[in-house]
Structure 1
Amino acid sequence: MNIDIGNALDAVAQPGVSEDSLRRLDDRVAAAHDRIERGIADEEFGYAALSLPETTDPDAIHDAVAPLADSEYVLTVGIGGSALGAATVADALGVGERAPVLDNVDPQSLQTTVESLPLSETAVHVVSRSGTTAETLGNFLVVREAMADAGVDWTDRTIVTTGESGPLHALADEHALPTLSVPEGVPGRFSVLSPVGLIPAAILGCDIEAVLAGGHAGRTALAPSIFDCPAYAYGAVAVALERRGAHVNAFVPYAERLEYFAEWFAQLWAESLGKDGMGQTPVRALGATDQHSQLQLYRAGRHDKLITLVRPRDRSQLTIPDTEIEELAYLGDTGVGELIDAEFEATEASLAAASQPNVRVEIDRLDAASLGELLYGMEAACILAGELLDVETFTQPAVEWGKRAARGLLGDIDAPETDAITEKERLVVAPDRSQ
C-alpha cells in the first residue's frame, strides 16, 4: 500500500497542511507508535487487532468449514463489524455474489434474500460475540425456520462465530455446530482478519492465507514516522486536515469490488473516531460512477472535505472494440482499465485544481495479499488517528445507548434510555386527507 499526500499539502489545498507541520507532528506520531506497539505486545483491548495476521489460525478455519465445503453460497448473518468484514473480503476477492449478508432487520429484504437462495446448497455463518444481538438472532431464527420448511437440516448447514459463552454458544454446543471464536480483545469493526471476516471466503475457496500474509506485510510496514509508514501518513494527515476544517472524509474506491470496502471503512472511521465532538464524517462514493454526481459537490462545494481516492495499479485486461462512430474513435483499442485510470487521474487533478484536499491510496493489484495489506493499513491508520485525537478508539458508547433504548422498547430490559423515546418532542406535518 502506498499513500500520496501531495494534494493535501497547503501548497495545493485549502485546507491543507504544511510539510513543516507534518514534521512537527511526526514527534507525536513516534510517541503514538510506541504506545501502539506496547498495546500490541501486551495484547491490550483494541490494540490486539493489529496482531491478528499472526494470531489468526487459517488451519483452524479450514477445519471448521470443511463440512460446508460443498456450499455454493454462504449467507452471513450478523450486523456491523460482524458482517461488513466478511462482505468486504468476499466482494473484493470476487465471490461477493455468492456471499450475501443479512445485516439489517428489514422484513422485505430478509424475505427476498432467503427466498432467492438454494438453501440446501447454502452455508449459514452466524456471527455475534455476545450471542444476544437482537437483529442477528432474529434474522437467524427466520433463516432456520425457512430451512426447516424447505426440508433442509439447518444443523448441517450452519457455522457459528461467537464468544466463549452466551445463548448462541450454548445453541452451537447443543447441536454440535462447527464453532470458531470471536478473537478476544478485538472490537467487531477491527475483526476482519479473523474468522469473523474470513469464514465465507474460506468456504468459497479463496486464499485466506494470502489475505493474512498481506496483513502481516502491513504489520511489518509500521514505523515511527509519517514519512516511512503509509498507514500512519494517512491517519496523521486525516487528523491534521480535520483540525483545519476538513470534517468530512469522502472515501472513493476506483474498483467496484472495493465498494463494500468503503462501507467497512465508514464504520471503522465513524465508530472509532466519532467521540468528544471530534471525528470526520465518512462518506462513500464509487469511481468512476460518482464522478457524474457527487464530484460536483466535492470539487465545487465547501472546503470541508478530505477526498480519499483508492485504486489498484494493475488491473485485468479488457479492450474496447474499434467503432465506426467517428466521435468515439478515440476509445477504440483502448483498455477499459486505461479508461478508469484516466478517470481517476482526471478527478484527482480536478480536485487539486479546485484546491480541494485529496489523498491517493494505491495497492499493487486487487488480490488477496493486497487486500489484507489494505485492510490492515486502514486499521492502523484509524488507531493512530485515535491516539492523535486522544479519543477512546475502541469503545462505542453512543451505539450501546441506542441498543439499550431498543431493548427497553421491546421489553427485554428496563432501560432508562427508553424514556427518550416516549418523551420525544413532536411536531408532525402531514397532508390533510379530509378533503
Structure 2
Amino acid sequence: MRIDIGAALDATATPGVPPDALDRLDDRVARAHDRITAGMDGDEFGYAALNLPQTVDVDAITAAADAVADADTLVTVGIGGSALGAATLVDALGDDDLDYHALDNVDPAHVTRLLDRIDLSTTAVHVVSRSGTTAETLANFLVVRDAMDDAGVDWTARTLVTTGDDGPLRALADTHDLPALDAPRGVPGRFAALSTVALPAAAIAGVDVGELVAGAADGRAALAGSLEDCPAYAYGATAYALDQRGAGVNAMLPYAERLETFAEWFAQLWAESLGKDGVGQTPARALGATDQHSQLQLYRAGPRDKLVTMLRPASRPDCAIPEAELADIDYLTGGDLGALLDAEFEATAASLAASGVPTVRVEVPAVDARSVGRLLFDFEAACVLAGELYGVETFTQPAVEWGKNAARELLRGEDPLPETETHIVE
C-alpha cells in the first residue's frame, strides 16, 4: 500500500501538519509501536488482531466453506463487525455469479422481502455472533430458519456458524451438528475481517483466502517504528495530527465501485475504536466519482473540519469508450472508463489541494485478494496506532454495549431508559 500525505501538510492544507510537528510525533509513534509490538507478542486482547495473518487457519475455513460451495445465494446473518468484513470482501472480490446479501438489520420489511425473493434451496447461510447472544443476529436467523422450514429446505444442510466457545448459538450448532468455526479469541468484531468471521463468506464467494491472508502478512511485515517507514502508521499518525488541529471529520472516498463497502467497514472501525473520552474523528462515507456531484461541494467549500482520504487502485480493467459522433465530447472518443475515473481522481485531488483541504492519497496495486488483504490490515494497524496516540481503549465499545443491554431489557418488559423531555410536533 502506498500513502501520500503531502497534501495534508501545512504548506498546502489548512488545517495542515507542520513537518517539524510530524517529526516530533514520530517519537510518539516509535513508543506506540513498541507498545503495539508488546501487545502482539503477548497476544493481548485487541492486539491479537494484528497476529491474524499468522494465526488464522485457512484450510479449516476453506473446508467449512466447501460444505455449502454449491450455493447460488449467500446470506451473512450478523451485525456490525460480524457482517461488514464479509460484505467488504465479497463486494470487493466475490464471484459476480453469486447473489450476496448481508442481513445486518432487523427491518421486517427488508428481511421478509429478501426471503420472499431468493431461492432458499440454493442459499447458504453464514451466521456470525461471537457471544452467540446478539439479539438482532439471533432474531434474523430464527426468521431465516423458519422460512427455510416453510419452503421444505433442510436448513441444517445450508447453514455455517461462526461463534464463541459457548452460548446459545454454539449450543444450537452442537445440537444440530452444524459446521461451526471458532470466532478468534481476543479479536473485536470490527478487527476480525481477516478471520473466521469474514473469510468463510469470501471463500464461498470464490475468493482466494490464502492470498487475502498473504496480503495481510505483507502489512504485518511492514510494521516499523517510524511513520516514514510504515504506510499504516503514516496514515494513523497523520489522521490523528489533523484531528488535533481541527479536522474532526474523515471522509473516506474510494475511486472503485467494488471498494464502496470498504468505506462502510472503515467507518465502523474508526468510529467504534476511537470515539471515546470526547475524542476521535467522525468518519464519512463517499464514492468517487459519484459523490463529486453530491458531497465534494461541502468538502471543498464548507467548514474546514475535514480530512479527505482518497483511495484508488493503480490498475483497473479496460473498458473502451465508443466513438460519440458528437463534436462537443470528441475528447472522450478512444478513451477508457478507467482513464476517465483516474482523471476524476486527479482533478478532485487538485481541487481539494487548491482550496486547502487536507487530503491523503492511498493507492493499492489493484482490487485483488492480496491488495485487499493488505488494505484491511494496514487500516486496522493505522487505527490501533491512532488509538495509542489518543490514549483511548481502542478495543472496547462501552457505548454500544449500553445500548445492547437496554434493548434486551426493553424486550423483557423492563424499562431501563432514563426519562427525557419530549417536545412533539405532529
Per the normalisation by structure 1, the TM-score is 0.96
Distance 1:83 1:407 in 2: 21
- Aligned-pair identity in percent equals 64
Amino acid aligned to 1:249 = N
Q: CA deviation at 1:94?
A: 3.7
Supply the AA of the counterpart residue of 1:429: V
- Give the superposition deviation at 1:419: 2.8
Where does residue 423 of structure 2 map in the other structure? 427
Q: Which residue identity does 1:66 align to in structure 2?
A: D
User: What is the Cα deviation at residue 118 of structure 1?
Assistant: 1.0
Q: Per the alignment, in what secondary structure is the counterpart of residue 396 of structure 2?
A: coil
* Partner AA of 1:7 in structure 2: A
Partner of 1:433: none
Range 89-98 or range 195-204, more displaced:
89-98
Q: Determine if contact 2:94/2:202 at 8 Å carries over to the other structure.
A: no
Aligned to 2:325: 324
Q: CA deviation at 1:396?
A: 0.3
Q: Secondary structure at the match of 1:105?
A: coil
Matched residue type, 1:52: L
1:42 and 2:42 equivalent?
Answer: yes
Query: Which residue does 1:63 correspond to in 2?
Result: 63
| Matched position secondary structure for 2:126 | strand
For 1:109-120, list aligned pairs within 5 A.
109-120=110-121
- 2:417 partner SS: helix
Q: Check whether the contact 1:315–1:337 (CA below 8 A) recurs between aligned residues.
A: yes
Distance in structure 2 (CA, Å) of the matches to 1:250 and 1:95: 29
Residue in 2 that maps onto 1:33: 33
- 1:345 aligned residue: 346
Q: Please tell me whether the aligned partners of residues 58 and 209 of structure 2 are also in contact (alpha carbons under 8 angstroms).
A: yes
Q: Deviations over 1:116-151 (max 9, x none)?
A: 211111100000011111000000000000001111
Residue 266 of structure 1: how far off its partner (Å):
0.1
User: Which residue pairs with 2:406 in the alignment?
Assistant: 405
Query: 1:65 touches 1:178 (CA, 8 Å); kept in 2?
Result: no
- Counterpart residue type for residue 212 of structure 1: V
Cα shift at 1:204 = 2.3
Kept in 2, the 8 Å contact 1:73–1:204? The answer is: no
Question: Quick one: distance in 2 between partners of 1:171 and 1:282?
Answer: 37
Instruction: Provide the C-alpha distance between the structure 2 equivalents of 1:62 and 1:184, rounded to a whole number of angstroms.
Output: 20
Contact persistence 1:351–1:358 (CA under 8 A) = yes
Q: How does 1:171-190 map to 2 (within 5 A)?
A: 171-190=172-191
Distance 2:108 2:396 in 1: 30
What residue in structure 1 maps to residue 6 of structure 2? 6
Query: For the residues of structure 1 that align with 2:104 and 2:317, how far apart are their CA atoms?
Result: 31
Kindly state the Cα deviation for residue 63 of structure 1 after the two structures are TM-superposed: 1.4
Give 1:72 deviation, angstroms.
1.3
Partner residue in 2 for 1:167: 168
2:249 matched to 1:248? Answer: yes
Question: Contact between 1:72 and 1:204, CA under 8 Å: does it hold in 2?
Answer: no
1:88 aligns with 2:88: yes
1:288 & 1:43 partners in 2: Cα distance?
41
Q: Is the 2:246–2:305 Cα contact (8 Å) retained in structure 1?
A: yes
The whole-number CA distance in structure 2 between the counterparts of 1:388 and 1:26 is: 11
CA offset at residue 262 of structure 1? 0.2
Q: Which residue of 1 aligns with 2:155?
A: 154
Q: Give me the whole-angstrom Cα distance separating, in 2, the residues matched to 1:98 and 1:260.
A: 16
How much has 1:178 moved relative to structure 2? 0.1
Give the match for residue 18 of structure 1. Answer: 18
Q: What is the count of residue pairs matched by the alignment?
A: 425
How far 1:161 sits from its partner (Å)? 0.2
Contiguous gaps of at least 5 residues in structure 1: 431-435
CA distance in 2, matches of 1:429, 1:158: 47
Deviations 1:340-383 (A, max 9, x none): 00000000000000001010000000000000000000000000
In structure 1, C-alpha distance between the alignment counterparts of 2:46 and 2:100, rounded to whole Å: 27
Aligned to 1:74: 74
Answer yes or no: is the 8 Å Cα contact 1:95–1:201 preserved in 2: no
Contact 2:94/2:207 (CA < 8 Å) preserved in 1? no
1:356 is matched with: 357
Contact 1:94 1:257 (8 Å CA) reproduced:
no
Task: Identify the residue that residue 383 of structure 2 maps to in structure 1.
Answer: 382
Alpha-carbon separation, structure 2, partners of 1:192 and 1:399: 19
SS at match of 1:427: coil
Deviations 1:81-137 (A, max 9, x none): 000000000000044762210000000111111122111111000000111110000
What's 2:337 paired with?
336
**Structure 2 regions of 5+ residues with no counterpart?**
none
Alignment of 1:224-303 (within 5 A): 224-303=225-304
Distance 2:366 2:344 in 1: 18
Give the aligned residue type for 1:47. Answer: Y
- Secondary structure of the structure 2 residue equivalent to 1:365: coil
| 3-state DSSP of counterpart to 1:205 | coil
How far off is 1:73 after superposition? 1.6
Asked if the contact 2:318/2:337 (under 8 Å) is kept, the reply is yes
Question: Which residue of structure 2 aligns with residue 304 of structure 1?
Answer: 305
TM-score of the aligned structures, taking structure 2 as reference length: 0.98
Q: Which residue of 1 aligns with 2:51?
A: 51
